[in-house]
Every structure is written in C-alpha cells, then in structure tokens.
Chain A
C-alpha cells in the first residue's frame, strides 16, 4: 500500500498555489537600489526592510565586530533624527523595529500598520547616508555589545566551541571570525572605525529594499523614488571580492573541555559549496542530503541508525545552509548516551555515513521529503515576513530573483544519485574540522 499512497500524494500538489496570496514584483531605482515588493493583503500590516550587501565577512583585519557595532549605532542620531528617535517614532505608531547582522548582510526592518509605510521609509532613508554619530554614543553602546557577547557566547560553552570550530574551518576567509567579533577587538572599536565602515559600504547602490504585506508595487515604487531615489550612489562601493580559501589539505581536530558542558558530544563541519547564481544544483543536493541524514529525530538516516538501531545516541544532527556568498559548511553531530566515549561516538557517526553511502537512499523517504518541501511552500504563504527574508537573504548572498524563485523546483528535481554524489564530494576529512566537546579534560595516560 505504501506505493499506492505515494502516488496519491504526488498528485495532491498539482493544483497551482493561490495567486492571490503573494505577488512578487521587483525593479531597480536609478541610483542602483534594488526593490522587491511582496503583496500580501492578509492583514493591514507591512514589513519594511533594507538589506545592505555588507556583513561581518567584509570587515578589515583587526576590527572584528564593526559591522554589528555599526548596526547598533544606526539607531543613534542622523541629520534629521535625534538619537533613539527612530525607534521611538516607530513605537509611538504601534510598530516594532530591529536589525540584524550576518556574515554576508546587514538588515534593518520595521513591522507597522500599512498606512505608516511612508513614515518608516522616510526615516530609514535618513540613516542611509545621514548618520551623525557623536563620541558620546560609543562608550555605552560598546558596553552593550560586550554584554551581548557575554550573553550569547561567553556564558554558553556550546557557542564558545562553535567559534573555535569556525576559526579552524576557514584558513583564509573572513568567515573564520565571529560576527559579533573577538572580545579583545570589540573593546577597541571606536567612532572612526564605525564611520569608516559606514562610508565605505552604506548607500543605495549597495542596498535592497524589501517591502512585504498590505501594499503593492505601484505604491512602493512611488515612495521609494521619493525617499531613496534622491540619495546619490556611494562611489566608494565596489563589488565584494573576498579572500578565497586555498585547497584544504589537512584535517583539523579540536579538543574542548568546559565544566559547564552538560552532555559530551562530537561535532564536525566540512567545507561545502554554497548556492551560486545560475548553479544551485549541488547546493540543492546538499540540502536534501542534510534532510535525509538528519532532518527528523525519528526517520532520518542518522536517527534510525544511531538512536533506534544502535541506541547509542541521545541526539544526532546534520545541517547545511546553502544561503551564503562564499563557501559554506555541512555539519554533523552526535550526542552519545552517557558512558559512551567520544571516540566511539565519532566512529559510530562515521560508520553510519559509510553505510548510508553504501546502501543508498530509501526512495520512499526521498518522496516524503519532496512532499514536505512542496507543502512548506504552501505554509510559507502564511508568513509574509518569512518571504521577505528569503528575498533579502538571497539577493545579498549573490543570488538573483530568478534563482530564489527556481529553488523549490531545483530541490524537487534532486535525484538519489545527485545526493550520493554530493555526499561523496563533501565528506572529505581533509576539509573537515572535528570537535570533541566534554565537561572534563580526558585523563592523561601515564606510560
């Protein structure tokens, strides 16, 4: 009956998605600013986002954390707004606002009633080229980001070892450095560092406007031309050209112990290709590989082999994100049941993957994953903000609108062979970093 059931399910998704849910339009302003409009009339709300094609991986050596620090400082004064006024005005109008910094992008957004779109757009435009920092802004805000680092990283041993793994994974690329920055460099960041970064990277020709919700392309075009269109392109902006990774020839292994670790675990990341414009097939195969290996704590390959058959693991994981401007990573992890050594846990993980490559993929499992991916496109229509992030992240990670829209179909087209080929390519220990993470240092062996 399994086969018949699958045939039925495959037919369920033939009906086209309701067009009225989300209509996507894109265009470019004369000064080079890209605009994406996602019309969704579900609620009288808009999400207004400006994404800059600059992130932590674009920082110069020695000023790690400056991209994120500048993101915080963007809420201070501009030529037209007082310090803190941006958020106060958004709040007073019932909206919420925030910002985020990643390796490849920096984004600012507001969520507000749709009749206030012009208001937030006028303010966002004001800080695109009119940031007016004063020395007094620096001290307290630098303390805030140091406390943010304490909260996110220093107080969390798992985050600390993740930083170390990443630093070992990348031999030459800026992805080796944490987004929030190394603490000793954060402590030295100053006004000049922030303004240098701002003047170098911010401007309409390095920005993407994404507006999603209760609006349409015509309204957004008129407003965008009025507020963003008048800002001259920044001549300092040049295409991103980052240091590339050399061939990785030597496996790296890290031992980390911290008494705060509750459960010992093995974690490994492999250098892996990312989604590239016009060439997303390999990344699609790796995305499916992560789903097949670790997408479910019940039915994934690693869960079945290590949690169900062997019952040697409490938790297993496999993950991959192809949304990246440069080489990304594929990760696997195994948290063994207490009493199992990390050497055994690592061996079990390797054994499970070797068996998987030998045995191939259960085609029914693959069909189920395809079904879920199709359905997730329907569920995604209920989340205009999520769609906005998809476009913003895609466009700042080197993809085009066409690439972003083709992605669900490319995922559907991935075959068993594609996945196994991608797995054989990426599972190369010379390009991997393996971490053994435990609460106590392993005992010394006395000769």
Chain B
C-alpha cells in the first residue's frame, strides 16, 4: 500500500451521509422508538445498527473495564443457550451480530437474511434482554481481554494514546482506557458485569439505523419486539470537558526502532458556526491523500514518515484537534519541528484560494461515495442522529462545504491551530528530544 490508513485517531465526527439517492424515512414505533431507515431491496438482507448512548464512559468508580467486559460477554450465552448454543443458533441462521463499545456508546451491528429475519431478531433479542453472564464465559472473556492488555503494554500506539488522554482529560472518564487495566479487570466480579449491563442497555438511550431489504412497517414491528422489553433510565452521562493543554513534548521511553508521535490540543464543536470552515481548512492541512500540507512537507519532501495526518475529533463530551505520525528515532525531532512550523504557518496565513477550492471539490465529490453498502448507510444513519443532525442533512451538507469562504477559513484557523498549546506525546527512543513539560 502506498498509503497507510491512519486508524489510531477516531474518525471525524461528520459521520454524515450524502446523496440525493439516499432516501431516509423516519420510523416511530407504537412503543415509542425512533429509527431512520433506508429501504433497499436489491439484495435480500438488511443491516441494523443500534447505539446505546453512554458507552464506556459510564463505568462505575473503581470498576474500569466492566462495561467492556460486559459488552464482550453479551454474545456468550443468553436465555436457555450457553455460549456454544448461542453461536450455533446464530450460525445456523447465517446472521452476524457484533457488539462493540467506545467512550460514548455501545454499538450493536447486526446483519441478517430476509428469509429468516424473525428468527435472527429473536436471537439478538435474547442477547440484549437475557444475557446469562455465566461465570465460565466471564472468565474466558476476561482472559482474552487481559491478554490484549498485556500486548498493549508494549504497543507504542496504545501507549501514545493513553499518555495523551491522561494529560488532557484530568479526572474525566475519557482520561483512562475503557479496556481497564490488568489490575482493574482482574478484580471485576459477575455483579460488576451485571451492573454494567443495567447501566448501559436501556431503551431511552438507544439510537437506531437500518438499511436493506426491510419496510418501515416491518422495521417498526421488529424494533418494538427487539427493544420493547428493555428498562428505561441509566446513570447520568458525563459532563463536557474543556480541554486545556500546554505546548511541549512528553516522552515515553519504549525500546522500539520507530517513534510514534501523537499531538493535539482542543478543537471546535460539531455545532460551532465555523465547523465547516474548520473542516475544510483541516482537509487542506492534514486531510486524506498525499496532497495535504503535512503529507507534502513531512512525507513527500523529506521522506520522514509513511503516514501523517491531522483530524478534528468530536466526541460527545470533548472536542479535539489531533494529529499523528511515526518516524525513526533519529528523525523524530526533525519531524516535530516541521509539524510545529506548519501548524504556525496555517494559523497565521490561512490557506490559498486554490487550496480552498481543491479541498471543497474533494469533500463534495467524496461525500456520495460513502453510501455504497447497507452496513455503511446504517452506520451513517445512526451517526447523524447522534450528532443531532436533521433528516435532510445529506441534501444540505455539500452546500455548507461550498459556502465556506477564504475569510471564513482565515477566521477559524486562529482557533483551530494554536502552536503554543500543541502538546506532543512521543513513544520510542527519540534522539535529540528532551521532554518539555
């Protein structure tokens, strides 16, 4: 691959879809559940995406990792089926369910054939409403999580992320990994898992997107059956944190030949009037493709890295401007200098007319390309709802990008790029680089 897909930094908050051809219908069930649906009957299956708001940030005090352990155990036995029985039933239906949790939500992604939709949904309901959390299943999954944590202990990317999170989030739940630690996970009990389940899987915090071979009426019935028995409530959601950083470099020593650098400071909220100006500006600065300023200066001109990018990251309770790259220990100091220099330049001078137009053409042209599979569209539908976007957003989104002017960018770059506050975390054995706190 010529280009490394940068995966360490979360995807941009603009998880919005696009296309005149994407016809979204809002479905409200008799039971009061709202879902967004794109009906598409060319292939006989459907994708269903559920997000339970709150996610890993809802771990109780001293129980870090409980929600993650619970999520990973949801599919390990439910109702009268043990882990084996559940997997067999699912495989016989050729359905797939995946359960995942991030700091803001717990995600259930399901894919099921039209011909056995009812049976597949009955099975998914079992996992969501009657998970067994058998001791043997918890122990097996716990060992798997612990083995992952042991591997992470020497993974430079994980260490970089954890170090930066600890620096910028203070005592907010975002400050620590929702995977927990070797100690916290080892100490979790079945009661902790059951509590985690009760805290997160609640009816009034679920958002739903569906795409594929299913009608609005069918979806409505399905959702009431699937989710109607869930309880309401849930503990309070975390508060929003104003991220504050100081400029400088934090070094974490690790015996690896290549240093990983992660850097950032606070960002701009999704609902900020200048969000789109910032979005376009960052496409010029550190966006996808090798033509961004960061890629040009750090990779193409100097060959310092395989991949570099910058990202506007909008979590539910914090807004960040982040970037990352990896380079040999003996060249990381040079790369940081280039990044800082570019960070200052764009803040002072904005972007050129040509850069602005190129970025707008790319962003508006790329938008429709996102809507090309049932699973992708279902994810986008849920993301739009979580971001509080209107149902016609897809039709208006490119207009918002088009409307960004040079003046808008010039105004927003001073807020978006602040070299004095830019904090670098470097993990490796960087040469000629002193930690500056």
> Which residues of A are interface residues toward B (Cβ below 8 A)?
5-6, 9, 12, 15, 18, 20-21, 42-45, 71-72, 75, 84, 87-88, 91-96, 98-101, 111-113, 139-148, 150-151, 154-155, 259-263, 296, 298-299, 304, 307-308, 311, 314-315, 335, 337, 364, 368-369, 371-372, 374-376, 378-379, 381-385
Rounded to whole Å, the gap between the CB of B184 and the closest CB of chain A is: 17
A299 contact set on B, CB distance < 8 A: 84, 87-88, 91
* Contact present for B91 and A371 (CB under 8 Å): yes
Rounded to whole Å, the gap between the CB of B336 and the closest CB of chain A is: 15
Q: Which chain A residue lies CB-closest to B151? A: A262
Query: Which of the segments B1-9, B121-129, B170-178, B386-394 contacts the partner chain?
Result: B1-9
* Contact present for A96 and B2 (CB under 8 Å): no
In the complex, number of A-B residue pairs with CB atoms less than 8 Å apart: 203
A148 contact set on B, CB distance < 8 A: 4, 306
Among B53-96, those with CB < 8 Å from A are 76, 83-84, 86-88, 91-94
Confirm or deny: B44 has a beta carbon within 8 angstroms of a beta carbon on chain A. Answer: yes
Rounded to whole Å, the gap between the CB of A263 and the closest CB of chain B is: 5
Rounded to whole Å, the gap between the CB of B1 and the closest CB of chain A is: 5
Given contacts A45-B372, A71-B2, A92-B362, A307 and B152 within 8 Å (CB-CB):
no
Rounded to whole Å, the gap between the CB of B150 and the closest CB of chain A is: 4
Contact of B372 (CB < 8 Å), options: A42, A259, A375: A42
* Contact present for B1 and A98 (CB under 8 Å): yes
Contact of A150 (CB < 8 Å), options: B111, B151, B257, B302: B257
Q: Which chain B residue lies CB-closest to A13? A: B115
A147 contact set on B, CB distance < 8 A: 258, 303-306, 326-328
* Alpha-carbon gap, A98 to B5, bound state (A): 10
Among B319-339, those with CB < 8 Å from A are 326-328
Among B121-172, those with CB < 8 Å from A are 140, 143-144, 147, 149-154, 156
Confirm or deny: B43 has a beta carbon within 8 angstroms of a beta carbon on chain A. Answer: yes
**Closest CB pairs A-B (n = 9):** A94-B365, A143-B303, A375-B94, A262-B151, A140-B303, A262-B150, A150-B258, A298-B87, A260-B154
* Alpha-carbon gap, A283 to B373, bound state (A): 30
* Contact present for B19 and A43 (CB under 8 Å): yes
* Contact present for B151 and A263 (CB under 8 Å): yes
B289 contact set on A, CB distance < 8 A: 87-88, 91, 96
> Which residues of B are interface residues toward A (Cβ below 8 A)?
1-4, 19, 21, 40, 42-45, 76, 83-84, 86-88, 91-94, 111, 113, 115-116, 140, 143-144, 147, 149-154, 156, 255-258, 260, 288-291, 299-307, 326-328, 358, 361-369, 371-375
* Alpha-carbon gap, A263 to B176, bound state (A): 23
Rounded to whole Å, the gap between the CB of B142 and the closest CB of chain A is: 10
Show 5 residue pairs from A and B whose CB-CB distance is below 8 angstroms, ordered by the A residue. A111-B369, A141-B303, A143-B304, A298-B76, A378-B44
A154 contact set on B, CB distance < 8 A: 256-258
Given contacts A43-B368, A87-B290, A147-B303, A296 and B113 within 8 Å (CB-CB):
no
Given contacts A151-B326, A298-B84, A378-B45, A384 and B372 within 8 Å (CB-CB):
yes
* Alpha-carbon gap, A311 to B136, bound state (A): 10
Q: Which chain A residue lies CB-closest to B154? A: A260
Contact of B43 (CB < 8 Å), options: A15, A21, A43, A139: A21
Rounded to whole Å, the gap between the CB of B88 and the closest CB of chain A is: 6
Contact of B358 (CB < 8 Å), options: A91, A101, A375: A91
Given contacts A150-B257, A382-B373, A372 and B94 within 8 Å (CB-CB):
yes
Where chain B touches its partner, the secondary structure class is mixed
A311 contact set on B, CB distance < 8 A: 140
A18 contact set on B, CB distance < 8 A: 42-44
Beyond contacts A9-B93, A144-B299, A382-B375: 4 other A-B pairs, Cβ-Cβ < 8 A, are A45-B369, A88-B291, A263-B151, A378-B43
* Alpha-carbon gap, A259 to B307, bound state (A): 27
* Alpha-carbon gap, A238 to B64, bound state (A): 61
B300 contact set on A, CB distance < 8 A: 84, 140
Given contacts A148-B306, A150-B257, A375-B94, A93 and B365 within 8 Å (CB-CB):
yes
Given contacts A6-B92, A92-B361, A374-B94, A260 and B256 within 8 Å (CB-CB):
yes
* Contact present for A91 and B291 (CB under 8 Å): yes
Given contacts A147-B305, A154-B256, A299-B84, A368 and B92 within 8 Å (CB-CB):
yes
A307 contact set on B, CB distance < 8 A: 140
* Contact present for B2 and A99 (CB under 8 Å): yes
Given contacts A44-B21, A147-B328, A155-B256, A315 and B366 within 8 Å (CB-CB):
no
* Alpha-carbon gap, A141 to B303, bound state (A): 6
* Contact present for A379 and B111 (CB under 8 Å): yes
B140 contact set on A, CB distance < 8 A: 307-308, 311
* Contact present for B362 and A91 (CB under 8 Å): yes
B2 contact set on A, CB distance < 8 A: 71-72, 75, 98-99
Contact of B369 (CB < 8 Å), options: A112, A296, A298, A371: A112
Contact of A113 (CB < 8 Å), options: B152, B299, B368, B373: B368
Given contacts A88-B291, A298-B83, A379 and B150 within 8 Å (CB-CB):
no
A315 contact set on B, CB distance < 8 A: 144, 147
Rounded to whole Å, the gap between the CB of B334 and the closest CB of chain A is: 12
A260 contact set on B, CB distance < 8 A: 154, 255-256
* Alpha-carbon gap, A45 to B328, bound state (A): 39
* Contact present for B302 and A140 (CB under 8 Å): yes
* Contact present for B92 and A371 (CB under 8 Å): yes
Q: Which chain A residue lies CB-closest to B375? A: A382
Contact of A21 (CB < 8 Å), options: B19, B42, B83: B42
* Contact present for B358 and A92 (CB under 8 Å): yes
Rounded to whole Å, the gap between the CB of B202 and the closest CB of chain A is: 27
A88 contact set on B, CB distance < 8 A: 289, 291, 358
* Alpha-carbon gap, A94 to B366, bound state (A): 4
* Contact present for A155 and B369 (CB under 8 Å): no
Rounded to whole Å, the gap between the CB of A212 and the closest CB of chain B is: 11
* Alpha-carbon gap, A146 to B260, bound state (A): 15
Q: Which chain A residue lies CB-closest to B89? A: A5
* Alpha-carbon gap, A44 to B367, bound state (A): 11
* Alpha-carbon gap, A96 to B1, bound state (A): 13
B307 contact set on A, CB distance < 8 A: 151
* Alpha-carbon gap, A170 to B374, bound state (A): 42
Q: Which chain B residue lies CB-closest to A72? A: B2
B87 contact set on A, CB distance < 8 A: 296, 298-299
Rounded to whole Å, the gap between the CB of A306 and the closest CB of chain B is: 11
Rounded to whole Å, the gap between the CB of A185 and the closest CB of chain B is: 17
Which of B91, B144, B150: most chain A Cβ within 10 A? B91
* Contact present for B42 and A75 (CB under 8 Å): no
* Alpha-carbon gap, A96 to B2, bound state (A): 12
* Contact present for B45 and A96 (CB under 8 Å): no
* Contact present for B91 and A368 (CB under 8 Å): yes
A44 contact set on B, CB distance < 8 A: 21, 368
B363 contact set on A, CB distance < 8 A: 94
A379 contact set on B, CB distance < 8 A: 43, 45, 111
* Alpha-carbon gap, A141 to B40, bound state (A): 44
A381 contact set on B, CB distance < 8 A: 42-43
* Alpha-carbon gap, A197 to B261, bound state (A): 35
* Contact present for A151 and B306 (CB under 8 Å): yes
B152 contact set on A, CB distance < 8 A: 262
Q: Which chain A residue lies CB-closest to B211? A: A382
* Alpha-carbon gap, A374 to B362, bound state (A): 38
